[in-house]
Structures are given as structure tokens and as C-alpha cells.
Amino acid sequence: METSEMEEKMEVEVIQNSMENISIFPCHHEEEAAVAGPPHEALFVVLTYLPLYELLAMSEVCKSLRHTVNNDVLQWLVVQGPLNWRLSDEILVKLSSKMNGKLTTLGLISCVKITDSALLQVVRNNPLINTLHIPGCIGLSPEGIIKAVEILSKQNRTLKSLQLAGIYSIKKEHLETLHSHLKLNSSDPQNQNQPLLYHEYRNTSSHLPASDRQIDVEMCPRCNQVRVVFECAKVLCNIKDKKSKWFRECKGCCVCIPRCAQCGGCMDYLEQEETACMDILCSECWLHLPKCDFCNKPYCKRHAHQQTVSPGSSGFLCDVCQDESQDFYVIG
């Protein structure tokens, strides 16, 4: 078995053990929790903003933190990597029941096992939800999402933020129905989405709103599919140029128009430059970034932390070159 597979297996076991320690699962630490001391007051504020993985990790630090996590009623439930691919309908319903109907933010980031049944049960039991982020939840159907939004929009309530990126089964008619429940009128300038730039969207934490827009998807003017649509960050592209069709039509989803991960500008396919992190950059941004000493590829700003300092040099090595250099010395 490869090292990466062994590490993944160990991580799954740790996560499973941690999840069993939460009070919604069979608890084996009742005696310890009973004698736990009072947590610091600041923890009550911090815990309400932590994703599930961090909550589970904190519950393993000490008795006091475990007691706090097990007994505090949270209003924020966000599940992302590495727990998202393991989250099932049953676990989600149990987690949400801990909120006692006071849940206001539900974030399920690429939780592919979640179905309509669990989502609808959660929203029915938590009518105060005003932020619903379910990007990449491909197990959900457009009809189930519409029903959930309808439930949360009753009694003059309106969702403040709805994120659906990566759910490609949503069509134009579904989007129009969602707009009606969200009380959005596309012809009203006050309800039109604010411009969204690709590089800013990517650098935003996955469990926080990417912008102040109420819904993150719209109809792409190029492919007519419901996707996240980006404006161009280039100054020239915001000026109508009669000589260049590209400049006048560079608004669209990232499938239709390649964009630089560093500046967010549109690119011609011939202008794309490779990076060590597999993102694409425009030629101008590529020239201004430091390069790997071996392969001469840069990291974009988002992945710059992956650089490894090169011994005896002021430069760095990318992950691939670092692994290859280690293999070389081992063989030698």
C-alpha cells in the first residue's frame, strides 16, 4: 500500500472516532464531560463560526472543549473537506438536530452523498436558515433545491445567500423559479447581480459568501447554461471596442472563457501559460512571478505557500521537482 493511501486510511479512522465523540453519536465520555471545567467565554463566539472538521478537532483537545462542543447550540453548520465526501443523509440529519431549530447558516460544500430527502428534512426543522450554500452537491435535484428554497421563503422570509455552483442539472426554468421564490426581478437594477471577478471568487473561503449577491449562478451569455458568470478584470475589456469581438464578449463562465488565476482577466487560448499548481496564467502575470529553479514554472498567489525553499539558492522548488530531486538522491 502506498504511503498516501495509508495516510488517507488513518485520517478516515481519526475522523470517524472524532465524530463518534460528538453528543449526537453514542458518547463514551459522559463522565469526563460532567467534570469538565467552564470554557473561556471567547470560545462561545469562535465555535459558532467553525466548520465541522475544526469543531471535531477541537473536541479532541481537552475535556473542557469537548464539553463545550457537545453542549453548545450552534447556529452555523458548514461541512467541507475532508468530511464532505463521507457525509451521509443520516449523519446530516443527526447533526442538524443538535441545532434545536436555531440553525441560520447551512453550508454543504461538495457533499456528493446528500439527497433531497435529507436537505428537505433539515430545512423543515430549521426554518430560520437564511444562508444556504450547497455548491457541488450533485446528489441534489433541481426540484429538491426549489422545494427547499420555497420552504425557507415562506412567512415573508427570504434567503440572504444561495450558492449552487457545480450543480449542472439546473436549467433556465429552474433558475426562474428560484428567482420568484427569492423575490428577484432581473429587470430591476437593484436586484441585478454585482460584477464577479474570477480571481477574487477563487480566493474566497469556500464556506463564506463569494460576494454580496443573493444567488451565485446565472445564465451564461455564451453557452446559455446556468453557471457562475464572471466579468473581465482587464481595463480594456470594459471599453467597447468595435474592432475586437473578443473584448466586447468576454463576460461568461470559466468553461466558455479561460481566465487568469492571478488577475482574473480573459485570455486567448494561445496566451495561456502553465504553472506549478496546474492553474493557468496570462503571459503578463506569468512573467512577474518567481519561478521554480528546475522547471521554471511559477505558483499563482493562491498556491504560493506550496513553495519549498531551494538549498543554496534564493529561489524555490515546486512540489513535483522537490519529489523528483529526493528520488534522485535516494537512487544515487
- Give strand ranges (E) for the chain: 76-79, 105-108, 131-133, 161-163, 218-219, 226-227, 273-274, 280-281, 308-309, 316-317
Cα–Cα dist 163/210, whole Å: 9
Would you state the pLDDT for residue 22? 47
As a whole number, mean pLDDT of residues 309-326 equals 79
- Residue 228, in any domain of the structure: no
Cα–Cα dist 264/247, whole Å: 14
- Residue 259, in any domain of the structure: no
Q: Cα–Cα distances in Å, from 88 out to 18, 92, 116, 144? A: 16, 6, 12, 16
As a whole number, mean pLDDT of residues 223-245 equals 73
- Of 274 and 195, the one with more pLDDT: 274
Beta strand 273-274 with 280-281 is: antiparallel
Beta strand 273-274 with 226-227 is: unpaired
Q: Is the pLDDT of residue 256 over 70?
A: yes
Range from 240-244, 277-281, 320-324 carrying the lowest mean pLDDT:
240-244
59-113 per-position pLDDT tens digit? 676 776 676 666 665 678 888 878 888 899 998 998 888 788 888 999 999 999 9
- Residue 187, in any domain of the structure: no
Range from 168-182, 220-234, 237-251 carrying the lowest mean pLDDT:
237-251
As a whole number, mean pLDDT of residues 312-332 equals 70
pLDDT band at 194 (very low <50, low <70, confident <90, very high): low
Would you state the pLDDT for residue 112? 94
Cα–Cα dist 193/215, whole Å: 8
As a whole number, mean pLDDT of residues 178-204 equals 72
The per-residue pLDDT of the chain, averaged, comes to 78
Range from 144-148, 167-171, 174-178, 204-208 carrying the lowest mean pLDDT:
204-208
As a whole number, mean pLDDT of residues 311-317 equals 78
Would you state the pLDDT for residue 241? 46
Place of cell 460544500: 109
**One-letter amino acid for residue 237 of the chain:** C
- Residue 181, in any domain of the structure: no
238-250 per-position pLDDT tens digit? 655 444 444 446 8
Q: For residue 13, how many other CB atoms are within 10 A of its CB?
A: 10
Question: The domain containing residue 330 runs over which residues?
Answer: 272-332
Q: Is the pLDDT of residue 137 over 90?
A: yes
Contact 277, 283 (CB under 8 A): no
Q: Cα–Cα distances in Å, from 291 out to 24, 199, 304? A: 49, 20, 11
Q: What 3-state DSSP class applies to 266? A: strand
Range from 45-54, 184-193, 257-266 carrying the lowest mean pLDDT:
184-193
Q: Cα–Cα distances in Å, from 17 out to 6, 7, 20, 59, 328? A: 17, 15, 5, 11, 39
Would you state the pLDDT for residue 242? 46
Would you state the pLDDT for residue 326? 66
Range from 40-44, 55-59, 117-121, 170-174 carrying the lowest mean pLDDT:
40-44
Q: Is the pLDDT of residue 56 over 90?
A: no
- Residue 284, in any domain of the structure: yes
Would you state the pLDDT for residue 211? 55
Would you state the pLDDT for residue 245? 47
β-sheet bridge partners, residue 281: 273
Range from 88-102, 145-159, 302-316 carrying the lowest mean pLDDT:
302-316
- Residue 298, in any domain of the structure: yes
**Spatial CB neighbours of 138, under 8 Å, sequence gap ≥ 6:** 112, 166, 167, 168, 169
Would you state the pLDDT for residue 170? 96
- Residue 288, in any domain of the structure: yes
Would you state the pLDDT for residue 324? 75
**Spatial CB neighbours of 50, under 8 Å, sequence gap ≥ 6:** 58, 76
Cα–Cα dist 175/127, whole Å: 22
Cα–Cα dist 105/133, whole Å: 8
Kindly report the CA angle at 159 between 111 and 151, in degrees rounded to 5? 80
Would you state the pLDDT for residue 27? 46
Would you state the pLDDT for residue 306? 84
Contact 39, 63 (CB under 8 A): no
Would you state the pLDDT for residue 43? 65
pLDDT band at 9 (very low <50, low <70, confident <90, very high): low
- Residue 277, in any domain of the structure: yes
DSSP notation for 198-242: HHHHHTS-TTS-SSS-SBS-EE-TTT--EE--BB---TGGGS--T
pTM metric for this prediction? 0.74
Q: State the total domains in the chain.
A: 1
Would you state the pLDDT for residue 178? 95
**Cis peptide bond prior to 142, omega within 30° of 0:** no
Would you state the pLDDT for residue 1? 44
